[in-house]
Protein backbone atom coordinates (compact mmCIF):
# COMPACT_ATOMS: atom_id res chain seq x y z
CA UNK A 1 0.00 0.00 0.00
CA UNK A 2 1.12 3.56 -0.77
CA UNK A 3 0.08 6.88 0.79
CA UNK A 4 -0.31 10.12 -1.12
CA UNK A 5 -0.56 13.54 0.51
CA UNK A 6 -2.08 16.18 -1.77
CA UNK A 7 -1.59 19.79 -0.58
CA UNK A 8 -3.03 22.91 -2.11
CA UNK A 9 -0.78 25.97 -1.61
CA UNK A 10 -1.42 28.39 1.23
CA UNK A 11 -3.48 31.55 0.87
CA UNK A 12 -1.68 34.04 -1.39
CA UNK A 13 -1.63 37.80 -1.64
CA UNK A 14 -4.00 39.25 -4.25
CA UNK A 15 -2.67 39.65 -7.75
CA UNK A 16 -1.87 43.29 -8.36
CA UNK A 17 0.74 44.33 -10.91
CA UNK A 18 2.60 41.03 -11.21
CA UNK A 19 1.62 37.71 -12.67
CA UNK A 20 -0.41 35.04 -10.90
CA UNK A 21 2.70 32.83 -10.99
CA UNK A 22 4.62 35.36 -8.84
CA UNK A 23 2.04 35.71 -6.07
CA UNK A 24 3.50 35.19 -2.60
CA UNK A 25 1.92 33.72 0.51
CA UNK A 26 -0.07 36.04 2.72
CA UNK A 27 0.54 36.15 6.46
CA UNK A 28 -2.39 33.77 6.88
CA UNK A 29 -1.02 31.47 4.16
CA UNK A 30 2.31 31.26 5.97
CA UNK A 31 0.61 30.52 9.31
CA UNK A 32 -1.61 27.87 7.68
CA UNK A 33 1.38 26.17 6.02
CA UNK A 34 3.24 26.03 9.33
CA UNK A 35 0.12 24.66 11.08
CA UNK A 36 -0.15 22.00 8.37
CA UNK A 37 3.50 21.10 8.97
CA UNK A 38 2.82 20.66 12.69
CA UNK A 39 -0.31 18.65 12.02
CA UNK A 40 1.52 16.27 9.65
CA UNK A 41 4.89 16.00 11.38
CA UNK A 42 4.09 12.54 12.75
CA UNK A 43 3.24 11.10 9.29
CA UNK A 44 5.98 12.70 7.18
CA UNK A 45 8.63 10.15 6.18
CA UNK A 46 11.87 12.05 5.68
CA UNK A 47 13.41 11.68 2.26
CA UNK A 48 10.19 10.67 0.50
CA UNK A 49 9.16 12.67 -2.60
CA UNK A 50 7.80 16.22 -2.40
CA UNK A 51 6.78 17.26 -5.92
CA UNK A 52 5.92 20.95 -6.21
CA UNK A 53 4.63 23.44 -8.77
CA UNK A 54 7.21 26.15 -9.58
CA UNK A 55 4.89 29.05 -8.61
CA UNK A 56 6.13 31.14 -5.67
CA UNK A 57 3.18 30.33 -3.40
CA UNK A 58 3.50 26.56 -3.84
CA UNK A 59 7.26 26.59 -3.39
CA UNK A 60 6.90 28.72 -0.24
CA UNK A 61 4.25 26.36 1.14
CA UNK A 62 6.60 23.41 0.64
CA UNK A 63 9.49 25.33 2.21
CA UNK A 64 7.43 26.03 5.35
CA UNK A 65 6.46 22.37 5.58
CA UNK A 66 10.11 21.28 5.37
CA UNK A 67 11.16 23.85 7.99
CA UNK A 68 8.54 22.61 10.46
CA UNK A 69 9.41 18.97 9.74
CA UNK A 70 13.11 19.70 10.29
CA UNK A 71 13.84 18.48 6.80
CA UNK A 72 16.16 19.95 4.19
CA UNK A 73 14.48 22.05 1.53
CA UNK A 74 16.66 20.15 -0.94
CA UNK A 75 13.98 17.45 -0.74
CA UNK A 76 11.65 19.71 -2.72
CA UNK A 77 11.48 18.67 -6.36
CA UNK A 78 10.18 21.45 -8.61
CA UNK A 79 8.21 20.16 -11.60
CA UNK A 80 8.42 22.99 -14.13
CA UNK A 81 5.23 21.90 -15.93
CA UNK A 82 3.13 21.64 -12.73
CA UNK A 83 1.87 25.24 -12.64
CA UNK A 84 -1.92 24.81 -12.98
CA UNK A 85 -1.35 21.20 -14.11
CA UNK A 86 -4.24 18.83 -14.75
CA UNK A 87 -5.02 15.80 -12.63
CA UNK A 88 -3.73 13.58 -15.45
CA UNK A 89 -0.37 15.38 -15.50
CA UNK A 90 0.03 14.94 -11.71
CA UNK A 91 -0.86 11.27 -12.07
CA UNK A 92 1.81 10.82 -14.76
CA UNK A 93 4.48 12.27 -12.45
CA UNK A 94 3.31 10.18 -9.49
CA UNK A 95 3.44 7.05 -11.66
CA UNK A 96 7.17 7.70 -12.16
CA UNK A 97 8.10 7.74 -8.45
CA UNK A 98 10.46 4.94 -7.37
CA UNK A 99 8.66 2.12 -5.57
CA UNK A 100 11.10 2.26 -2.65
CA UNK A 101 8.97 5.15 -1.32
CA UNK A 102 5.83 4.21 0.57
CA UNK A 103 4.51 7.78 0.59
CA UNK A 104 4.75 10.94 -1.44
CA UNK A 105 3.65 14.56 -1.27
CA UNK A 106 2.54 17.00 -3.94
CA UNK A 107 1.96 20.74 -3.54
CA UNK A 108 0.07 22.52 -6.30
CA UNK A 109 -3.08 24.29 -7.45
CA UNK A 110 -6.75 23.81 -8.07
CA UNK A 111 -8.54 22.67 -10.10
CA UNK A 112 -5.93 19.99 -10.88
CA UNK A 113 -5.40 18.83 -7.30
CA UNK A 114 -9.09 18.59 -6.40
CA UNK A 115 -9.70 16.74 -9.66
CA UNK A 116 -6.86 14.35 -8.76
CA UNK A 117 -8.49 13.57 -5.40
CA UNK A 118 -11.78 12.93 -7.22
CA UNK A 119 -10.12 10.72 -9.85
CA UNK A 120 -8.31 8.59 -7.28
CA UNK A 121 -11.09 8.27 -4.70
CA UNK A 122 -14.34 8.75 -6.66
CA UNK A 123 -15.26 11.43 -4.11
CA UNK A 124 -16.25 14.94 -5.11
CA UNK A 125 -14.00 17.44 -3.33
CA UNK A 126 -12.67 20.97 -3.57
CA UNK A 127 -9.47 21.56 -1.58
CA UNK A 128 -9.35 24.96 0.12
CA UNK A 129 -6.09 26.89 0.30
CA UNK A 130 -3.61 24.95 2.42
CA UNK A 131 -5.98 21.99 2.42
CA UNK A 132 -4.52 18.50 2.49
CA UNK A 133 -6.09 15.24 1.35
CA UNK A 134 -4.43 12.04 2.58
CA UNK A 135 -5.13 9.13 0.27
CA UNK A 136 -4.31 5.48 0.84
CA UNK A 137 -3.66 3.65 -2.40
CA UNK A 138 -4.34 -0.08 -2.67
CA UNK A 139 -1.29 -0.66 -4.89
CA UNK A 140 2.23 -2.02 -4.52
CA UNK A 141 3.79 0.18 -7.16
CA UNK A 142 3.37 3.86 -8.04
CA UNK A 143 2.92 2.75 -11.66
CA UNK A 144 -0.36 1.09 -10.59
CA UNK A 145 -1.93 4.32 -9.32
CA UNK A 146 -4.92 5.25 -11.48
CA UNK A 147 -8.60 6.22 -11.19
CA UNK A 148 -10.41 4.55 -8.31
CA UNK A 149 -7.35 3.02 -6.60
CA UNK A 150 -7.45 5.38 -3.62
CA UNK A 151 -9.42 5.87 -0.44
CA UNK A 152 -9.63 9.23 1.34
CA UNK A 153 -8.08 8.68 4.79
CA UNK A 154 -8.02 12.21 6.09
CA UNK A 155 -8.61 15.82 5.31
CA UNK A 156 -6.89 18.85 6.85
CA UNK A 157 -8.20 22.35 6.35
CA UNK A 158 -6.89 25.48 8.04
CA UNK A 159 -10.21 25.80 9.86
CA UNK A 160 -9.75 22.32 11.35
CA UNK A 161 -6.44 23.34 12.98
CA UNK A 162 -6.26 24.82 16.44
CA UNK A 163 -4.22 28.02 16.62
CA UNK A 164 -2.69 29.46 19.81
Render pLDDT for 62-76 as a digit per residue (tens, 0 to 9). 999 999 999 999 999
- In 3-state terms the chain splits into helix, strand, coil percentages (rounded to 5) of 35, 20, 45
24/13 Cα distance (integer angstroms): 6
Question: What are the Cα distances from residue 32, in Å, to 43, 150, 158?
Answer: 18, 26, 6
Please tell me what DSSP assigns to residue 99. T
Q: What is the pTM of this model?
A: 0.95
pLDDT digits (tens, 9 = 90+) for 21-53: 999 999 999 999 999 999 999 999 999 999 999
58/148 Cα distance (integer angstroms): 26
Amino acid sequence: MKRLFIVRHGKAMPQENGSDFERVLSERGTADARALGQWTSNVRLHGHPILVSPAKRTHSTAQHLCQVWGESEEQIQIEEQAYLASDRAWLKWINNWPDQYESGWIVGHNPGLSELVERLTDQNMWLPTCGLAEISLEVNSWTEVFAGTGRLRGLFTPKSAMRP
